[in-house]
Chains A and B, each alone.
Chain A
Amino acid sequence: MRGSVRRSWLIVPAHDNDRLAEAASSSADVVVLDLQDTVHDSSKHVARDNIRDAISDMRDAGSEVFVRVDIELIYADLVASVWRGLTGIVLPGVTNVEQVMDAASILTDLESQRGVVKPPPVGDVREADDPRGPEQALEIHLSLDTGRGNWDAQQLLKASNRVKSISLGRADLVMDLRGEPSGDLHQMEYLMQRLIVIANALNVEPVGAWWRATSRGLVAGYDDTLQAAIDGRMAGFRGGLCMRTRQVKPMNTGYTPSADEVSHAEEVITTEPTYSPISGIASDLIAWSEECQNRDRSKSIVTAQRNQ
């Protein structure tokens, strides 16, 4: 799935007002309001109550907004989440096709009841009020965090045309993906490549970064995050998940081609014949770089409007 620039996916506990405020000024391409792992059971109701306003706040800050739901509490979580401004949901823990279809069906009902469609790109003034088409359906991002989910990834991706992106999640994968003496996480390379191949084959966006054993992934520091994003981009991702606002900048930077890369690509397309794959790769890089710049510009416009 190409078209959206989603370099940084910042997960924020939806019950925590301080973290929500930080997220609103983080410059994340995507803010994922969390109702799952980072929210204690005793705070779930507070988190659900916060979602509607938080969607609006994050949207005003120039971020696309997803909500990560708890698959065991999916109905209540979706009822709390499907409001104007929401782009999609992150669905973790999926192990069978029925779960994806169930989520899609609840989304369809709530979209219809509440008149909600997927919003246009950030900074775009148009609202999609025309008859609802598949492109306006709220998206599903599958967080494949179990062995079964990863093994059956193809079937799960085909279960609904709402599924537009996937990532490797935590759960039993993190239980088993542990550091090796090489500095890599156990089986990370295999699982990452498998995810990227399947995602591209089925035209959905693979999301992730090449985390190393020492970096503690989603809460890593600046340098580790930057390296994970750069390596992730080289491996085939175009954006990754993170859990700290300090990681947003290195994510955005790492997933944006550097000036040197762009200038090298420009040189390549002037010297290589247009039919050459090398030229094609260079053209893609330049196009991606322009899309990233446009995304940054639209975020600046939206936040400037908000501050006026």
Chain B
Amino acid sequence: MPINNPRFVDRSWTRDCDYLNFDLEDSVPQSQKDYARSQVRHAIVQGQKGAAEINIRINCAYPDADVPAAVWPGVKQINFPKAETGAQIRHLDALITELERVRGIRSGTVRIGATVETTLGVANSYEIASASPRIDAFGGGTGYDMSMDMGIEMFVGFDQFVYNRGEGELIALALGLEREGGVFMSDTTGNVGNAELSIKRAEASRKAGLRTGGGLHPNVVAPQNLGLTPTVNEVEDAHRVLSFFAELDQRGETEGDMDGRIVDKYEAARAEELIEWASLCAHRDAEKSAAREQTAAELDEQN
């Protein structure tokens, strides 16, 4: 969300976002950049009232101006858009390292989110993703800027980013990073507040092993949280799979048929992963809910 808009920033804690991406880039006009930079510390406070993780998106063209304005205690990640080379990331890493030292932030706390949005970035994806240990997640180039750079339409009925997505996710796997991205779902409207599409996309992404999603409209927060969280039935099923596999293992067998489906060590590992993820989601929801309640109580008291 644009960090120069107090109406958005001051209500950001109520949105139930796992993370907030306060923007200094595309959503802030040039004339407001200085003002936007001055608002970072206020935004951190506002976002943390709802226990959201605070990310700041800077401009790729002037990291030397943006990074000192963005790296403060409480910031978890600097998002670097239109990443095109490893050198850019190494420079960003050096800036952050120095600011962590000067501002008393534990070394390595601030992560880098490198976003690929140009064809040059796609071509240099491996170099970018491996340029800093601060990068712990990576995905392929999609979105508005990518479409513009490729000279194609963004909202079409087929996946025009097959190569970019594949390349990005394979690189993440190769480097042991969290995979970012999404599953293609046909969208020819471009409606960024489409809750129905958002939940379908989030569910599909989760089933493809992805765990995050972003959005530009508050309408899509709840659908994304819901779609990316395993359902109660799925968790129950995963426990059954694990029990079944444990019995197989005890009998010295490697696979078996459970209600018409094959269970083997891969299914068991998938089940284990799902249970762990469901537990992390529940923990996160509880954390956010407690923070919002506390903030609301404090506000009541003040009033």
Nearest CB of A to B94, in Å: 27
Is the CB–CB distance between B184 and A182 below 8 Å? yes
Interface status of B252 (Cβ within 8 A of chain A) = yes
Interface status of A40 (Cβ within 8 A of chain B) = yes
- Number of chain B interface residues as a range: 35 or more
Nearest CB of B to A40, in Å: 5
Query: How far is B175's CA from A151's CA once the two chains are assembled, in angstroms?
Result: 10
Is the CB–CB distance between B254 and A187 below 8 Å? no
Query: How far is B173's CA from A152's CA once the two chains are assembled, in angstroms?
Result: 12
Is the CB–CB distance between A40 and B163 below 8 Å? no
Query: How far is B169's CA from A171's CA once the two chains are assembled, in angstroms?
Result: 16
Chain A contributes a number of interface residues (CB within 8 A of B) equal to: 33
Of the listed residues B126, B166, B184, B270, the one surrounded by the most CB atoms of chain A closer than 10 A to its CB is B166
Query: How far is B296's CA from A211's CA once the two chains are assembled, in angstroms?
Result: 52
- Counting from the closest, the 7 A-B pairs by CB-CB distance are A147-B173, A190-B166, A151-B174, A186-B208, A147-B174, A176-B209, A148-B174
Interface status of A180 (Cβ within 8 A of chain B) = yes
Interface status of A216 (Cβ within 8 A of chain B) = yes
Is the CB–CB distance between B183 and A181 below 8 Å? yes
Query: How far is B126's CA from A39's CA once the two chains are assembled, in angstroms?
Result: 36
Q: Hey, what's the 0/1 contact readout for B176-219 against A, CB within 8 Å counting as 1?
A: 10010001110000000000000010001001110000000000
With A175-B209, A178-B207 in contact, is A219–B262 under 8 Å at CB?
Answer: yes
Is the CB–CB distance between A147 and B269 below 8 Å? no
Interface status of B253 (Cβ within 8 A of chain A) = yes
Chain A positions near chain B (C-beta within 8 angstroms): 13, 37-40, 42-43, 146-148, 150-152, 170-176, 178-182, 186-187, 189-191, 194, 216, 219
Q: Which residues in A have their C-beta under 8 angstroms from that of B255?
A: 38
Residues of B155-183 whose CB lies within 8 A of A: 162-163, 165-167, 169-176, 179, 183
Nearest CB of A to B169, in Å: 6
Residue of B nearest to A174 (CB): B266
Nearest CB of A to B212, in Å: 14
Nearest CB of B to A144, in Å: 11
Query: How far is B213's CA from A158's CA once the two chains are assembled, in angstroms?
Result: 38
Grouping DSSP codes into helix (H, G, I), strand (E, B) and loop, the B interface class, with mixed when no group exceeds half, is helix
Query: How far is B267's CA from A178's CA once the two chains are assembled, in angstroms?
Result: 11
Task: Name the one of B162, B165, B172 contacting A147, with C-beta atoms under 8 angstroms.
Answer: B172
Is the CB–CB distance between A179 and B207 below 8 Å? yes
Is the CB–CB distance between A190 and B163 below 8 Å? yes
Is the CB–CB distance between A216 and B261 below 8 Å? yes
Residue of A nearest to B173 (CB): A147
Interface status of B284 (Cβ within 8 A of chain A) = no
Is the CB–CB distance between A186 and B209 below 8 Å? yes
Nearest CB of B to A148, in Å: 5
Query: How far is B108's CA from A186's CA once the two chains are assembled, in angstroms?
Result: 33
Interface status of B42 (Cβ within 8 A of chain A) = no
With A40-B252, A40-B253 in contact, is A189–B273 under 8 Å at CB?
Answer: no
Nearest CB of A to B162, in Å: 6
Is the CB–CB distance between B208 and A13 below 8 Å? no
Is the CB–CB distance between B266 and A187 below 8 Å? no
Is the CB–CB distance between B264 and A37 below 8 Å? yes
Nearest CB of B to A172, in Å: 7
Is the CB–CB distance between B262 and A186 below 8 Å? no
Interface status of B247 (Cβ within 8 A of chain A) = no
Residues of B248-273 whose CB lies within 8 A of A: 249, 252-255, 261-262, 264-266, 269-270, 273
Q: Which residues in A have their C-beta under 8 angstroms from that of B163?
A: 190
Residue of A nearest to B270 (CB): A175
Q: Which residues in A have their C-beta under 8 angstroms from that of B261?
A: 216
Q: Hey, what's the 0/1 contact readout for B235-248 against A, CB within 8 Å counting as 1?
A: 00000000000000
Q: Which residues in B have their C-beta under 8 angstroms from that of A43?
A: 252
Task: Name the one of B167, B175, B209 contacting A178, with C-beta atoms under 8 angstroms.
Answer: B209
Residues of B268-295 whose CB lies within 8 A of A: 269-270, 273
Task: Name the one of B171, B200, B249, B266 contacting A40, with C-beta atoms under 8 angstroms.
Answer: B249
Query: How far is B163's CA from A189's CA once the two chains are assembled, in angstroms?
Result: 9
Pick 20 A–B contacts, CB within 8 A, sort by A.
A37-B254, A37-B264, A38-B254, A146-B173, A147-B170, A147-B173, A147-B175, A147-B176, A148-B173, A148-B174, A150-B173, A151-B126, A173-B173, A175-B269, A179-B208, A187-B166, A190-B163, A190-B167, A191-B166, A216-B261
Q: Which residues in B have their C-beta under 8 angstroms from that of A216?
A: 261-262
Query: How far is B265's CA from A296's CA once the two chains are assembled, in angstroms?
Result: 35
Query: How far is B199's CA from A181's CA once the two chains are assembled, in angstroms?
Result: 13
Is the CB–CB distance between A178 and B172 below 8 Å? no
Is the CB–CB distance between B262 and A191 below 8 Å? no
Is the CB–CB distance between A181 and B204 below 8 Å? yes
With A40-B254, A191-B170 in contact, is A170–B266 under 8 Å at CB?
Answer: yes
Is the CB–CB distance between A176 and B208 below 8 Å? yes
Q: Which residues in B have their C-beta under 8 angstroms from that of A191?
A: 166, 170
Nearest CB of B to A306, in Å: 30
Nearest CB of B to A36, in Å: 10
Q: Which residues in B have their C-beta under 8 angstroms from that of A182?
A: 184
Q: Which residues in B have their C-beta under 8 angstroms from that of A175?
A: 209, 266, 269-270, 273
Residue of B nearest to A150 (CB): B170
